[in-house]
Structure 1
């Protein structure tokens, strides 16, 4: 096997081609958009380059056939609660079903990271935000959500045989849109609704700046502590909203307020992969026409839970039931095209959010796993600590 550093456009194209070659016949696989993968490795588009660097390789056999790929990255902003060592990342892994070949890919990433002072590597993860390309699919080998990793089952063996160990599981839940919620939701919703200072409203595309401000306030209070202390500015939130705007359905993204101050958010989007699976990886003119036609004819029947958060001072007061039922009044209307709801992954270290999912009556739909490999084999992997 030969490993080749990706350092020009032709090799970058082969980096994309490896994934297609090794996954095209795997049931459930949806080809990602080329531009989404390319953006990860473009310093002009990926802000992670401001705080780190990455390298990637392709692997070929003696006949010149593509047999694997891997990327490695160092990001000074990448931290997890409880980390005691310097941790790098590896991802975008693909490999034929051969341990020796996989070991070569892993060793290459490890060596590159060690040269930069890292003592462990997590993978497969993204060089950037955690909502995309994060974790190895270990259960639930059906159509992935947009931006979600997908791989054949044998990848689990390749990782674990090399020495990767469970750092945390990422659990997705799904449910039918028209399913009945537990009685306690209605009881708590009724109690909160009696106070006229509470209100809920869905997002409006013509007021994105206002909702971006609300998003950043809630995120920084409820979530920044779980993202290595990384806060989000109003400008960053507005940029995120503008990216989502073409796909956004106003009626499935909700905010709750107390005396007009933002206290909770429940943001959902139509599953973009329901469109992408018809595009063969290309968001060209034909791909855009497919997207517009499917959107106009309401061909997407699945929405995805992107983020759910309540500011600490309003947690445990029934606000979760309030915002969910206020949103459900609209989302469950027969005029809406959706019949299935799946939540983006929840870390197994987050019991509060796991409880929200199960109390909704949702069932686990798939599990992805973030693995960690310690470079010193005498140092055990410690699981991600449970959030209090």
Structure 2
């Protein structure tokens, strides 16, 4: 039975300040998912620690636990990310809870209060400290395989957030592309024209040079994604940290850098686990995820997007991939949604919501 908002007094929310309480924070998702899904652990934010991840170098955050009668019943983290252009906005993330409105409301209120104390007027989420990590709440498309790093949660989370006073800020879509379908002839022609004169080179990422590739990642991301919802600037050090996290886990031959006249111009990140076991997408067979397709503005309308899509699909087929997940695409990214829906064999299969709340009113 879902508890009513009047039960707030029965819930205690406490800051996570010790190693022991952090263990409770990281272990709590097992109460929700068992062994079915592994929710991400909270990263080490202490710079002096050997486990410090440079991806979070511009992050301030505070995890919280919700307790009822001494038992952990929920968790959340509040975050200020200084790479986000909007200085009035903060995040909540790592949200997990039992199906209880009082618990969810108490967690949201604690995160909002922490952000308000730091001069923030708006809270959005779920975002796990940075948009370069997990963001959004799964709202539809719960069945099937879910890629590592993609949001997954019980269906009741959406209603708990709504009852806690949050409203949807943006919806992000996930698509599935059946690679057994031939690509549109027009797309093939545009891609062929782009590579015909030899000025365009598509190469795999070099995981052995994370700093050099991190600088390229930073330059392309910051130059091409600043108008996209959820943009957060990426420093070269943060870009390098992302490559180091991916190294050894994902096939580098499917992560492509496009160079035009010897200059980095675009990125296409297809994530296919190196040790991938056989699992099925909607089309059957192996499933990979196209997570990023970004082209610097001065190189757009030159066929780079088409060339990257065609080459990524070709390499994925050669790897044995039958279904390519295209995610996350913001609902207001009209051009990208139109391009994706023009591909034969594409279905919009999942939706993820990001929520917002004014924190000066809580």
1:262, distance to aligned residue in structure 2 (A): 2.2
Query: 1:182 pairs with 181, 184, 189, which one?
Result: 184
Whole-angstrom distance in 2 between the partners of 1:76 and 1:330: 37
Report matched runs for 1:120-135 at 5 Å.
Answer: 120-127=122-129, 129-135=130-136
* Equivalent residue in structure 2 for 1:339, among 322, 329, 336: 322
Q: Deviations over 1:215-244 (max 9, x none)?
A: 3443332224546572532x5433432332
Mapped partners of 1:220, 1:49: distance in 2: 17
Quickly say closer, same or farther: Cα 1:121–1:220, change in 2 above 3 A: closer
How large is the Cα RMSD of the aligned pairs? 2.9
8 A Cα contact 1:48 1:75, kept in partner:
no
Tell me how far 1:372 sits from its aligned partner. 0.4
Deviation at 1:247, TM superposition (A): 1.8
Give per-residue Cα distances to partners, 1:167-201, cap 9 Å, x unaligned: 11121222223322122212212332433323323
- 1:259–1:365: structure 2 CA closer, same or farther, 3 Å change rule? same
Relative distance call for 1:97 and 1:47 in structure 2 (3 A) is same
Q: Is 2:59–2:79's contact at 8 Å kept on the other side of the alignment?
A: yes
Alpha-carbon distance in 1 for matches of 2:260, 2:156? 50
* 1:374 correspondence with 2:361: no
* 1:348 aligns to 2:320 (yes or no): no
> Equivalents in 1 of 2:206, 2:180: separation in Å?
24
Secondary structure of 2:128's counterpart equals coil
Deviation digits for residues 55-83 of structure 1, max 9, x if unmatched?
22212222x33211111122333335xxx
Q: Decide which of 300, 324, 327 is 2:312's aligned counterpart.
A: 327
Query: What are the within-5 Å matches in structure 2 for residues 1-388 of structure 1?
Result: 1-24=11-34, 29-32=36-39, 36-39=40-43, 41-43=45-47, 44=49, 45-47=52-54, 50-62=57-69, 64-80=70-86, 86-127=88-129, 129-142=130-143, 143-205=145-207, 211-224=213-226, 226=228, 230-233=233-236, 235-271=237-273, 301-333=286-318, 336-361=319-344, 362-375=346-359
**CA 1:66–1:273: 2 relative to 1, 3 Å:** farther
Q: Give the distance between the partners of 2:95 and 2:45, measured in 1 at CA.
A: 14
Question: Separation in 1 of the partners of 2:206 and 2:259?
Answer: 15
Separation in 2, partners of 1:341, 1:40? 32
1:287: which partner in 2?
none
Alpha carbons 2:175, 2:325 under 8 Å: kept:
yes
Gaps spanning 5+ residues in structure 1: where? 278-299, 379-388
Deviation for aligned residue 1:312: 0.8
TM-score of the superposed pair, with normalisation by structure 2: 0.82
1:289 equivalent in structure 2: none
**SS of equivalent to 1:104:** helix
Give the Cα separation in 1 of the matches to 2:259 and 2:57: 35
Q: Give the unaligned 5+ runs of structure 2.
A: 1-10, 280-284
Q: Distance in 1 between matches of 2:232 and 2:354?
A: 20
| Partner secondary structure for residue 324 of structure 2 | strand
Mean Cα deviation higher: 190-199 or 162-171: 190-199
Q: CA deviation at 1:5?
A: 2.2
What is the rounded CA distance, in whole Å, between the counterparts of 1:354 and 1:169 in structure 2?
Answer: 12
- The answer (yes or no) to whether the contact 2:55–2:239 under 8 Å persists in 1 is no
148-157 or 49-58, which deviates more: 49-58
Count the aligned residue pairs: 340
Instruction: Report the Cα distance in structure 2 between the residues aligned to 1:243 and 1:111, rounded to whole angstroms.
Output: 32
